[in-house]
Amino acid sequence: MYHVVQILFSLQLPIALAVTGSHFTLPLNSSNNKCSPTLSRTPRDIKSVIYIGVILSDGDKDVEKAFENGIQAANEVLSQSGTLSSYQLEPIIQFVPRDNVFIATQQACKILDRGIIALYGPSSPSLAQALLSLANRFGLPYVETHWSLAPPKSTYAIHLHPSIESYGIGLYEYLTQVEKWKRMTLIYNKPESLLKFTTLVNNYEGTLKIKSWDENASGARAMMAELGSGSEKNFLVDIPSWQVSNFLVMAYVHNMTGYQYTFIFTDWDIATLDLTAFKIDVGARIKAISILPKIMTLDMNKARPSEMSIYRKPIHETIGSKDLSNGNPTIQFSLIYDSLILLAHGLSTVTRTRPLLPQKLSCERPPGLWPLGLSLINAVKSVASETIRGLTSPFRFDKHGLRTLFDLTTLELTQGGFKPTGVWNIDERMKVAKQPAITLPKQLPKTKGVVLKVTTIPDAPFMIPIKFDAYDRPLGTPDAWMGYCIDLLNEIAADVGFNYTVHITPDRQYGSGIDFGNGTVFYNGIMGELIREEADMAVAGFTITYEREKLVDFSTPWMTLGGSILFTRPKSQKPSLFSFLQPLSPQVWLYVIVTYLAVCLCLFVAARLSPHEWTAPHPCDERGDTRKNQFTLLNSFYYNVSALLNQGTELAPHATSTRLLTGVWWFFALIIIATYTANLAAFLTVENMKSPIESAEDLANQEKIKYGTLKSGSSRDFFRTSSLPTFKKMGEFMDKYPDATVSTTKEGIDRVLQGNYAFILESTWNEYYAQRDCRLTQVGTLLDSKGYGIGFPQDIMNTCTDLCW
């Protein structure tokens, strides 16, 4: 062992180098009794080791294999170098607890004492910052292969991940120039990851919604249910690759699989996943963005040499398929692999003019800069992309070590996996691959029908939800609904051959135009969704009008109807104290009273004038010499009222005149009593209830009973634009009293039942609700004639015909 140590010193190799695979011959010189050790070696068998320090946290153990493969590729580069052909790289890997800066610094100091030429940091931001400070202290190159949202600027650092600024520019240009999104929703996993989208958020001129992804299953389901019921179709999703499958499953559950949906995932490793099970014919487009090379399907005549060089040797031969994910290297593997190749090229460049002298560094002695540190890091930054066969080529770094040149590859999921659609870099900007035109069949097989998004409003009897989610929101599957419209839609879908999902318009309005005064008219409700092409069709009690037909397309009317007035039936009242007078009108009672008084006076006068009515008194009467007249004024009244009550008296007229008069009165009383009795019987058996309004004119000519329509819909537009005096006056009344209109049909029905309110709606609903509640009734005739139809976005019916009709 002593002789071996002597030989090491006699070779005068640097301290940080070791000798492996040597064969020694120690012949003894007997003439001078001195040992003259002689080294017999073959240069091909001896490799001097150059150490690289690697500090990994406990969560980075899966990247240890990447260093082994990367070291092999880097050593191949060194073997082809004239100055370093006898050297080989070897990593010194140490694992430390995550976020434990003290232990990480201790381990780094131990590694520095071995004489390393570069230091690799862990994924933990706090540990990386501490190790970078240590590397700057000794002038040692520091390599960062993990995504750093706020990378520290350092002369001695190099970051293999793309810089946030360059990445943001590429993403912004892709979304605005290629995808041409005017509206989108950004879903992020962690708040700090939003820094990647700073450029996009600051420059995007369209409508941008930002949602936070909850890794908790219940929170994620709630968010996906909200997105599924919304109007957004374009989603930029920044979640870990291992959660993508769950995301797509939830998207399927919430019916977000129609061809109008697009999902772009930004995790670099999405392309390594097998997501072909989620690919649906003419369904949602699933795309990804990566810096891994997928350029082989682009126009190779226009590709750069660096793009071609990576495929000169199959990647499986370079690193082995067992180290790949789904046949493709992961981003972490690729960046480590490329960083080691860059480091090997940098070493080759530096040693052309200067000898490589690794130096032992100690944290206990006064710090001193490694002389070759600055030259080595500058050489790595200056390596020409054309000379490197990296996995994420090309490369360019600024003075702070931030990577500014890289290929941002866009990919789209097909039945054969992810296929590239374009490449962007800061120099050449966006290059879109030549994609063959997709020819859709005139009629898809019914088993492979497209999934159409149907917008509607829950409103009986046409659309009635029967199944709800955990948050009491109607599900979007066809079996979660019932009603006339859903039956009609099922028949059409079965006959044509398409699938559909049901979507409730957010404001639950049929839609009317809102004029902002500057020539801009905004449509809400179903109309707005069709105009903005946020839905494929509208199936509901959707009225066809002239104004709507200018903006959207309609099918043939499937029901003809008209506007009507819904009001409460007149309520029966308790009989009053004088209800016995109701069988005869007040005029008749007045005439009876006047006639009664006149007849009584006539009878009194006639009896006074007729001598036959004056009779002798009774013999027993003391005043027997005076004749008496029985029809005094009081007796005349009594006699006639007895006739009205069908009662007889002891009074009897004697004269012809009085007898004629009383006979006429008795006949009159007989007719009146018979009429009164018959009417009284009718009043007791049949209750005559009269409504305070009988027509639209009655409503228009009073203000005690309020009336209105839905706030947004064809009925409201009818009164607003009508030129007929009655309807125009009713429209002005609704403008004067905005609270007279209601948001939903149910709200209108409730207000009618509360009283003093008339609800104007289509006759079909009027009949439906009147048949189910006896308190309601239709008043008057139909106000107009119109029809219900299926609505489509304008000029899209031909597209729908090509796709599914």
Whole-angstrom distance, CA of residue 349 vs CA of residue 359: 19
Helices assigned H by DSSP within 150-207: 164-173, 198-203
Whole-angstrom distance, CA of residue 571 vs CA of residue 580: 20
Single-letter amino acid, residue 90: E
Task: Please say whether the beta carbons of 409 and 295 come within 8 A.
Answer: yes
Task: Please say whether the beta carbons of 567 and 561 come within 8 A.
Answer: no
- Which residue has 């099918």 as its token pair? 555
Name the β-bridge partners of 507. none
Check whether 393 is labelled as a binding-site residue: no
Q: What are phi and psi of 512, to 5 degrees?
A: -145, 160
Q: Is 159 helix (H, G, I), strand (E, B) or coil?
A: strand
Check whether 548 is labelled as a binding-site residue: yes
Whole-angstrom distance, CA of residue 775 vs CA of residue 495: 41
Single-letter amino acid, residue 626: T
- Give the dihedral of Cα atoms 80, 83, 344, 141; nearest 10 deg: 180
Half-sphere exposure of 740 (CA within 13 A, CB side): 23
- Is the torsion defined by CA of 116, 117, 123, 126 positive or negative? positive
Whole-angstrom distance, CA of residue 125 vs CA of residue 41: 47
Determine which helix (DSSP H) or strand (DSSP E) holds 270, and give its type and residue range: none
Which residues are CB-neighbours of 757 under 8 A, at least 6 positions away? 705, 706, 707, 708, 740, 751
Whole-angstrom distance, CA of residue 79 vs CA of residue 85: 4
Closest C-alpha to 412, from 305, 284, 564: 284
Whole-angstrom distance, CA of residue 125 vs CA of residue 148: 7
Q: What are phi and psi of 354, to 5 degrees?
A: -140, 145
Closest C-alpha to 160, from 291, 306, 8, 298: 291
Q: Is 186 helix (H, G, I), strand (E, B) or coil?
A: strand
- Residue 324, token pair as written in the block: 């790949």
Closest C-alpha to 562, from 545, 537, 539, 538: 545
Map 199-257 to HEC letters: HHHHHCCCEEEEEECCCCHHHHHHHHHHHHHCCCCEEEEECCHHHHHHHHHHHHHCCCC
Whole-angstrom distance, CA of residue 30 vs CA of residue 448: 94
- Residue 252, token pair as written in the block: 């399927």
Whole-angstrom distance, CA of residue 109 vs CA of residue 54: 12
Check whether 543 is labelled as a binding-site residue: yes
Name the β-bridge partners of 119. 53, 142
Check whether 508 is labelled as a binding-site residue: no
Q: What are phi and psi of 328, to 5 degrees?
A: -130, 145
Q: What are phi and psi of 548, to 5 degrees?
A: -70, -35
Q: What are phi and psi of 758, to 5 degrees?
A: -115, 130
Whole-angstrom distance, CA of residue 235 vs CA of residue 213: 12
Q: Is 615 helix (H, G, I), strand (E, B) or coil?
A: strand
Check whether 715 is labelled as a binding-site residue: yes
Which residues are CB-neighbours of 189 under 8 A, at least 6 positions away? 213, 215, 238, 239, 240, 243
Give the annotated binding-site residues for L-glutamate.
Answer: 543, 548, 714-715, 762
Give the annotated binding-site residues.
Answer: 543, 548, 714-715, 762
